[in-house]
Amino acid sequence: VVVQGRDRFGNNVDMGGHDFCAILQFKPDAHTVGKVSTKPISFMSKDNRDGTYSITYKTNVSGDYSMSIVSFAKHIMHSPIPLCMKGQRDIASVIVDQSSNVRAVAGERARLRIIALDTFDNRQLSGGMTMYPEITLRAKTNKMILQDPLLEKDRRKPLRTEVVDNNDGSYDIFYESRYIGEYNVIIKYSDENNKAGKQEQAPQQVKIKNGQFLRVQIVAAEVDRSSCTISDPHFTAEAGIRSHFTIITADRYKNRLHKGGVRIDVQAWKEYLPEGSDDVLLECEVEDNNDGSYHVHYTGKISGAYVSEISVNGEKVEALSQKVTILPGLTDPTACIFEGEGIHTAKCGEQASFTIVTKDKFGNIPDHVNEKFQVFLQPHAHVKQVKGQDSNSTTRVRAKSIYNGNGEYKIEYLPRKACLHQLFVFYLPVKKRPGWSLVRQSYVTDEWSSSLIFKCTIDISAGRACASTTTAKGNGLGGTLAGRPGVVAVNVRDRFNHPQVPDEDQELAAELIDKDGNSVGTTTVSQREGSTNEFIVIYRSHQEGEHKLSITLDGQHIVRSPFSMTIQSNDIKVEELRVHNNDLIWDSDIALMWEQKHVAVGSAKAAADYLSQRGGGSTQVVSIAEALLESEDRFGHYIQRKKTMSLHSRIANLAEFYTPSTRIRRPTAGSRGSAR
């Protein structure tokens, strides 16, 4: 500012010598009030020595000012002077107006307002600049739901924009996009007013104030039902197990919504039901994740196919309605059903079976066929064990599991011992430890019972009578006298050596055959009274000589049959016959004596005296114990006051009444069995 000195008459002076001071006062407006200092700024004049004074001032803030020029505390003419400080012509940076849409909706036109600033961040108050905005999708941004290569290429192109110069230093940039994501905004400009007479320059990129990046966000529009999809489609679950699938909401441009609030309703019911049955509904629950996704949780208890119906904001969406399948759960041991005769009774040597109907805890029949069952049999703890066998032995049944369909397994086993047994059924594979061939009872502890699902008591009876284990004994096997009966006791057993009675279709027959192969004499077979498995064969023939006694069971010879024997003349002495057969045959006189009580029952001395008198001291008395036991068994008499006396005690009780010449021979295994 140049100040021209004048005298009081208004004449210009041509010499200096005075001092002037310019005071610059900022006048804030609505945008700058409180943001820019209003403290006055002083500038001193420079004396030009020609009556003029130069005042140079400078400020970095554009806007309205008031300049007061004083000399000796007096204002010069027209002071204070209003000033308007404009920004620099070149744009140093831009700021984004608060009214801009930096968050726009897909498919809708949005406005981005920028304000040009000079080097001192002063807003330009006029337009005239040409803006070249470039809005492109960031490389790392949210992807679309549907990965379409053509759409992906299209969404990577710069957006079409429109720029409006407001001639007040601000510029409106209008943009629009169908694809959601975060976009980078780059702004370039050129000054069209300065092109005259100058070489044309390429547009220059303008910085964002404070070095920040300018970005805009395109968000999804309102939900479009036809664009909603299902992710992680888990439409199959096990009964009782909670499962889910996810519904992804999207707008009409197939952009995923990233907020919740959409009302999703889900219903599902069993597809096929017997006529007249009530509907079976699936328990469904919708969880809003507040990110545009919704978890549909469902739990089913009854297996089968279910039809679902899904609605978005109250309107059904066919594309989302899917079929849900509930599979049967794992087998629940507590729900299994055991049925069949094989869990109650069985016969030795005959295949026994029972059925396991598997179910899960909701009563569904499992659809898998890889169930494993292990079956163990052991004699009941209260059953008397056979001598020579381990009382703790557990017989592992060679069970065979057959899947019959519909969750049924047929278990077959072959018992071999007749007595009460305990049956154990284990579910889950039981690990066989090294070196074990059988599982012993002592190991049936909590380790095994953790998978024990069934336990019962089975009455295993003897099997079918078998000729290969049926034996015969008695004095009649050595022969008899012509016309006198011979008696043989037949002990019938099954093939596992258990006492048994022949079935109705099995015949126990006996036949006496001479040396020419002809059937002679008479034979009778009858069950011994009071015995379950012992039969008496009585044969009689008047023909002397060598004979064979054939005893058959179900058409097959029993052990050692046919038996060779000799029928001798009736006038032979009984004592000689005894010596000849090396055994003491049954003497009817002794039997009669005991039965008619000619001697006191249990009087061992009387019996010994009688035998001594008959033998005259010269008869070889063989197996006196045999005779006593034979008489006791056949006529039901027992030694008085020694009812439970052992066989050894009985023999010792008799031995004291015999002379040293009388020899007692122990019975052989063939005559009385190994036990006696």
pLDDT of residue 284: 92
Same domain, 470 and 444: no
Q: Mark residue 90 as left, alpha or beta (left: phi above 0; alpha: psi -120 to 50; beta: remaining).
A: beta
Same domain, 437 and 344: yes
Q: Are 209 and 273 in contact (CB under 8 A)?
A: no
CA dist., res. 524 & res. 543, Å (int): 17
3-state secondary structure of 217: strand
Average pLDDT, the chain: 76
CA dist., res. 331 & res. 406, Å (int): 13
- Residue 68 sits in which domain range? 2-85
pLDDT of residue 657: 40
Q: Are 540 and 522 in contact (CB under 8 A)?
A: yes
User: Is residue 252 assigned to a domain?
Assistant: yes
Same domain, 450 and 345: yes
pLDDT of residue 86: 77
Query: For residue 523, what are the β-bridge partners?
Result: 539
Same domain, 97 and 153: yes
Give the residue, 79 or 441, on which the prediction is more confident. Answer: 79
Question: DSSP string covering 65-105, please?
Answer: EEEEEEETTEE-TT-SEEEEEPPPSS--EEEE-TTS-SEEE
User: Is residue 578 assigned to a domain?
Assistant: no
Same domain, 471 and 452: no
User: Is residue 582 assigned to a domain?
Assistant: no
Q: How many Cβ atoms sit within 10 Å of the Cβ of residue 164?
A: 14
Looking at the predicted structure, is the pLDDT value of residue 673 above 50?
no
pLDDT of residue 595: 38
Q: What is the pLDDT of residues 525-584, one digit of tens each?
A: 988 887 888 999 989 888 888 999 999 999 999 999 999 988 887 654 444 444 333 333
Q: What is the rounded average pLDDT of the residues 211-219?
A: 83
Same domain, 411 and 383: yes
Categorize the per-residue pLDDT at 373 as very low, low, confident or very high, splitting at 50, 70 and 90. Answer: confident
* From 220-229, 388-397, 635-644, the region with the lowest mean pLDDT: 635-644
SS (H, E, C) 633-654: HHHCCCCCCCCCCCHHHHHHHH
Same domain, 498 and 396: no
Categorize the per-residue pLDDT at 123 as very low, low, confident or very high, splitting at 50, 70 and 90. Answer: confident
Pairing state between β 465-473 and 315-316: unpaired
Q: What is the rounded average pLDDT of the residues 588-613?
A: 45
pLDDT of residue 149: 61
Residues in the chain: 676
Which of residues 219, 240, 256 is at a domain's end?
219
Which of residues 522, 541, 572 is at a domain's end?
572
User: Is residue 18 assigned to a domain?
Assistant: yes
Same domain, 290 and 259: yes
Same domain, 253 and 295: yes
Burial of 310 (0-12, 13-18, 19+ CB in 10 A): buried
pLDDT of residue 194: 62
User: Is residue 579 assigned to a domain?
Assistant: no
Same domain, 410 and 510: no
* From 106-115, 266-275, 289-298, 443-452, the region with the lowest mean pLDDT: 443-452
pLDDT of residue 627: 53
Which of residues 60, 85, 110 is at a domain's end?
85
Could you tell me the sign of the dihedral formed by the alpha carbons of 362, 364, 368, 372, in that order? Answer: positive
Looking at the predicted structure, is the pLDDT value of residue 196 above 60?
no
Q: Count of H helices and E strands in the chain?
A: 8, 44
CA dist., res. 212 & res. 182, Å (int): 15
User: Is residue 305 assigned to a domain?
Assistant: yes
User: Is residue 422 assigned to a domain?
Assistant: yes
Percent of the chain with pLDDT over 90: 18
User: Is residue 356 assigned to a domain?
Assistant: yes
- Number of domains observed in the structure of the chain: 6
pLDDT of residue 51: 85
CATH of the domain at 107: 2.60.40.10
Same domain, 131 and 240: no
Same domain, 547 and 601: no
Q: Are 453 and 428 in contact (CB under 8 A)?
A: no
